[in-house]
């Protein structure tokens, strides 16, 4: 059989292997950076960048810089999301990679407070803001890249690859810190913690090599061919698809908030409150990440069979039900129990939500505003839930005299918000992504009364977000 050739009318498709690699390695770098910072905030920055006689105040200051990175992410998401809807997914993913990765590498050379005085926290904060701004569209861009290239019946599986990258990054960062914390504390605080930050330059080179070899997505090529690229994606998004945007915001609350309670706050809690060894938290997170590497794509593939909503609802429900058992296991002060709690909480609860998320969020929006919608909704929610949850957990535990039950209640509340948002969402697994917009997504952007007043639904021109006569 003769080799297939591409006509001028046919989108140039990248191989699925290259797309999966581009999504996975960039997402791995993003979350390697973020989880690395979270671990360093728990174990290092509160001692050498924000030194104070009160350990509680130092920890709060370190976690405040963690929150800053989350709070700046929505601004990066708005900017790069709109840019990606105007100039293409691939170009934006290259820009965000360089900005985010470069800032992470430079964190590895930030001087201590003892060496540089007030300039140490100032430099750290500036680099954290740059890191967060660049990361604002990284996961969303990788999810859209995967979903728009995937075969419809395997979109859940391929949409899970950015989630797999999350756990690759988590495994690398937590595993590295678990090894480095075995150094004498003086050596670890002096130079050991810097090694994983500086090593991120190797991941930047690999991610850049892979992403430069990937074509623009078929959906965006189709928009260009039809001269239908949005001039003002954010304006169009807020005018036409507010419903899907709110669904994404609500659905993201548990995935970000609960995961950062487990992966950041608990690492500090078991050392500062329970008096366990500093190696226990990173080991538990690394074990959970290793399990989630397998379960995340399995949950993504399951969403191709049963739908996105059932899989995501399971994750939110599991996280609520497991909240108190999680802290009961952790409070035993047993290393084995901590690892089991991490593995179940992250490898089942969080992984199931993350496995369905890439395809589900992409399918909620039209091609013209898909990247803007996904990153704006996801990052605003992540800033409020993931960025503030560790701070809230520290404050709640301190107020309760070291007890964990208030954090358990908070975890249930975060999960409940996501569960309710999902109940209001449509099932999306049969949506045509290259065709730009689903009637379901369009309808969610209007009040029900307004839709009823229009009478029977009209055919939708998916590229231009208007009805055809």
CA proximity to 197, closest of 49, 389, 298: 49
Q: What is the mean pLDDT of residues 163-167?
A: 89
272-304 pLDDT per residue, tens = 889 898 888 888 988 998 999 999 999 999 999
Q: How is the chain split into domains, by residue range?
A: 16-219+231-446
Residue 191: DSSP 8-state: I
Which class is 16-219+231-446 in CATH?
A: mainly alpha
What's the confidence (pLDDT) of residue 369? 94
Residue 362 to residue 364: CA distance in whole angstroms: 6
Q: What is the mean pLDDT of residues 314-332?
A: 96
222-272 pLDDT per residue, tens = 888 888 888 899 999 999 999 999 999 999 999 999 998 998 889 889 988
413-465 pLDDT per residue, tens = 999 999 999 999 999 999 888 754 443 444 444 433 333 334 333 333 333 33
What's the confidence (pLDDT) of residue 468? 34
What's the confidence (pLDDT) of residue 446? 42
Question: How many CB atoms lie under 10 A from the CB of residue 47?
Answer: 18
Residue 265 to residue 263: CA distance in whole angstroms: 6
Residue 252, SS3? helix
Q: What is the mean pLDDT of residues 125-149?
A: 89
CA proximity to 127, closest of 68, 78, 186: 68
Percent of the chain residues past pLDDT 70, beyond the cut: 87
What totals of helices (H) and strands (E) does the chain contain, helices first?
25, 2
The conformational region for residue 183 under phi > 0 = left, psi -120 to 50 = alpha, else beta, is beta
What's the confidence (pLDDT) of residue 383? 83
The Cα angle at residue 84 between residues 257 and 259, in degrees rounded to 5: 10
DSSP letter string over 80-146? HHHHHHHH-HHHHHHHHHHHHHHHHHHHTTPPPHHHHTTHHHHHHHHHHHHHHHHHTTHHHHHHHHH
Q: For residue 55, what are the contacts with CB-CB under 8 A and spacing of at least 6? A: 46, 272
Enumerate the β-bridge partners of residue 467: 460
Residue 308 to residue 312: CA distance in whole angstroms: 6
Residue 348: DSSP 8-state: I
134-145 pLDDT per residue, tens = 888 888 999 999
The Cα angle at residue 278 between residues 277 and 281, in degrees rounded to 5: 100
Residue 110 to residue 247: CA distance in whole angstroms: 39
What's the confidence (pLDDT) of residue 52? 64
Q: What is the mean pLDDT of residues 54-75?
A: 73
The bridge status of strand 466-467 relative to strand 460-461 is antiparallel
Residues 104 and 72: beta-carbon distance below 8 Å: no
Q: What is the mean pLDDT of residues 80-109?
A: 91
pLDDT class for 12, splitting at 50, 70, 90?
A: low
Residue 287 to residue 266: CA distance in whole angstroms: 15
pLDDT class for 9, splitting at 50, 70, 90?
A: low
What's the confidence (pLDDT) of residue 187? 86
Q: Which helix (H) or strand (E) holds 461?
A: strand 460-461
């Amino acid at each position: 059989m003769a080799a297939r050739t591409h006509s001028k009318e046919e989108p140039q498709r990248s191989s699925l292997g290259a797309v999966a690699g581009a999504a996975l390695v960039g997402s791995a770098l993003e979350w390697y950076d973020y989880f690395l910072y979270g671990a360093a905030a728990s174990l290092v920055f509160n001692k050498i960048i924000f030194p104070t006689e009160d350990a509680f105040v130092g920890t709060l200051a370190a976690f405040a810089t963690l929150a800053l990175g989350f709070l700046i992410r929505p601004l990066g998401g708005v900017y790069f999301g709109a840019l990606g809807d105007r100039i293409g997914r691939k170009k934006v993913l290259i820009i965000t990679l360089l900005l985010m990765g470069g800032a992470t590498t430079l964190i590895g050379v930030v001087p201590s407070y003892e060496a540089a005085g007030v300039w140490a926290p100032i430099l750290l904060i500036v680099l954290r803001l740059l890191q967060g701004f660049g990361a604002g569209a990284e996961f969303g861009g990788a999810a859209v890249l995967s979903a728009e290239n995937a075969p419809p019946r395997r979109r859940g599986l391929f949409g899970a690859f950015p989630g797999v990258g999350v756990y690759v990054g988590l495994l690398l960062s937590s595993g590295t810190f678990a090894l480095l914390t075995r150094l004498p504390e003086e050596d670890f605080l002096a130079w050991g913690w810097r090694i994983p930050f500086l090593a991120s330059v190797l991941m930047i080179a690999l991610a850049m090599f892979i992403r430069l070899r990937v074509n623009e997505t078929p959906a965006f090529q189709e928009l260009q061919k039809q001269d239908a690229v949005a001039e003002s994606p954010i304006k169009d998004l807020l005018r036409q698809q507010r419903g899907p945007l709110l669904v994404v915001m609500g659905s993201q609350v548990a995935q970000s908030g609960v995961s950062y309670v487990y992966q950041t706050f608990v690492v500090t809690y078991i050392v500062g409150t329970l008096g366990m060894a500093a190696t226990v938290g990173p080991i538990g997170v690394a074990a959970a990440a290793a399990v989630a590497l397998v379960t995340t794509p399995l949950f993504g593939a399951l969403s191709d069979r049963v739908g996105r909503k059932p899989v995501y609802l399971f994750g939110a429900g599991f996280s609520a039900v497991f909240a108190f058992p999680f802290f009961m296991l952790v409070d035993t002060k047993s290393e084995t129990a901590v690892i089991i709690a991490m593995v179940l909480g992250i490898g089942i609860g969080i992984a199931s939500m993350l496995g369905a998320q890439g395809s589900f969020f992409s399918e909620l929006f039209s091609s013209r505003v898909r990247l803007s919608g996904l990153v704006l909704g996801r990052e605003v929610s992540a800033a409020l839930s993931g960025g503030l949850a560790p701070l809230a957990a520290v404050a709640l535990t301190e107020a309760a005299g070291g007890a964990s039950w208030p954090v358990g209640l908070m975890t249930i509340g975060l999960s409940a918000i996501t569960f309710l948002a999902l109940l209001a969402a449509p099932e999306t697994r049969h949506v045509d992504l290259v065709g730009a917009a689903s009637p379901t997504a369009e309808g969610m952007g209007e009040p029900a009364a307004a839709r009823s007043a229009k009478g029977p639904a009209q055919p939708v021109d998916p590229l231009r977000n208007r009805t055809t006569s």
